[in-house]
A and B are shown apart, each in its own frame.
Chain A
Amino acid sequence: MSIAAKANALWAYANPKKFLATTERVLPFFWASAAISLVVGLVWGFFFTPDDYKQGSTVKIIYLHVPAALMAINAWLMMLVTSLVWLVRRHHVSALAARAAAPVGIVMTLIALATGAIWGQPMWGTWWAWDPRLTSFLILFLFYLGYVALWEAIENPDTAADLTSVLCLVGSVFALLSRYAVNFWNQGLHQGASLSLDKEENVADVFFFPLLVCIAGFVLLFIALVFYRTGTEIRARRIKALLARERVGS
């Protein structure tokens, strides 16, 4: 199949009925594989990995902090893509997918901030520092809250989708900054990335493999949640449309 044909096949999922039918079929797989990966990764990391020579047992927090931070940024980037699809192609499912992903992104950001603060207290001697990465992450969190608030505040769903999409474009600067802040400013308390294509920069293998399983678990959980929540948003939109039609008819 050519790339153009594949792209056309993808647009079929812009149809809410097709989206619901397909996600209902694949959701059990995503829920189950997310649960299995998370249990295996977290049990492996928590019970069967050694302490770090510098960080002691606090290194075990990496299995939650790194995947959550990764998903916090990537959730926003997924929202960016679906927002762009809404702005260009006006597919409602795409706008609703962005809306569905936002609360998941909020929780991921909150986990990354909370576990970072809990880890930072004994390691850095402070819960919080106005470090470039931490600060850009906090701003990303505020953007998430603003995004959800904007959806709730506007009655007309198309106007809400338009304005939240624009907010998403603006917030993407902070999503990227929170990923690359360490490289841009090369200062602050936060260390460089724990995962890198350069093997020398990576964490040791004994921590790396359970971390990969945890990341897979977080990615699968994110996909399951976004599919499920998008289905809920589609049904909620249908309820509004049916009620409006009933009001007009009566």
Chain B
Amino acid sequence: MMPDLGKYADTVLSAYAASLVLLAVLVLVSLWRGRRVRAELERLEQRLTRNG
């Protein structure tokens, strides 16, 4: 299944690994912060509603 990358295998694989790791980190950090902020806002709005 794996294509024969010849003498440049390390070059190609490291380029893919670095890029995919960077993209994954970007997406995961964005989702993590998004969920955290959304939950914080919901908590705050509930508290403010309770306190009038």
Partner of B15, one of A51, A118, A239: A118
Given pairs A57-B12, A60-B12, 14 additional interface contacts (CB within 8 A): A47-B3, A56-B6, A56-B8, A57-B6, A57-B8, A61-B11, A64-B19, A118-B15, A119-B11, A225-B26, A225-B27, A229-B30, A232-B34, A236-B37
- Residues of chain B touching chain A, judged by Cβ–Cβ distance below 8 Å, are 1, 3-9, 11-12, 14-16, 18-19, 22-23, 25-27, 30-31, 33-34, 37-38, 40-41, 44-45, 48
Interface pairs (16), CB distance under 8 Å: A42-B16, A56-B6, A57-B5, A60-B16, A61-B16, A68-B19, A110-B22, A111-B22, A111-B23, A118-B15, A221-B23, A235-B38, A236-B37, A239-B41, A242-B48, A246-B48
Q: Are B19 and A228 in contact (CB under 8 A)?
A: no
Q: Please measure, in the bound complex, the distance between the C-alpha atom of A235 and the C-alpha atom of B37, giving whole angstroms.
A: 7
Task: Say how far A110's CB is from chain B's closest CB, in angstroms.
Answer: 6
Q: Is A46 an interface residue (CB 8 A)?
A: yes
Contacts of A103 in B (CB 8 A): 26, 30
Q: Which of B12, B18, B30 contacts A225 (CB 8 A)?
A: B30
- The answer to whether A157 has its CB under 8 Å from any CB of chain B is no
A79 to chain B, nearest CB (A): 16
Given contacts A57-B9, A114-B19, A239-B37, contact A232 B30 (CB under 8 A): yes
Residues on the B chain within 8 Å of A229, using CB: 30, 34
> Interface size (A, Cβ < 8 Å)?
36
Q: Which residues of A contact B15 (CB under 8 A)?
A: 61, 64-65, 114-115, 118-119
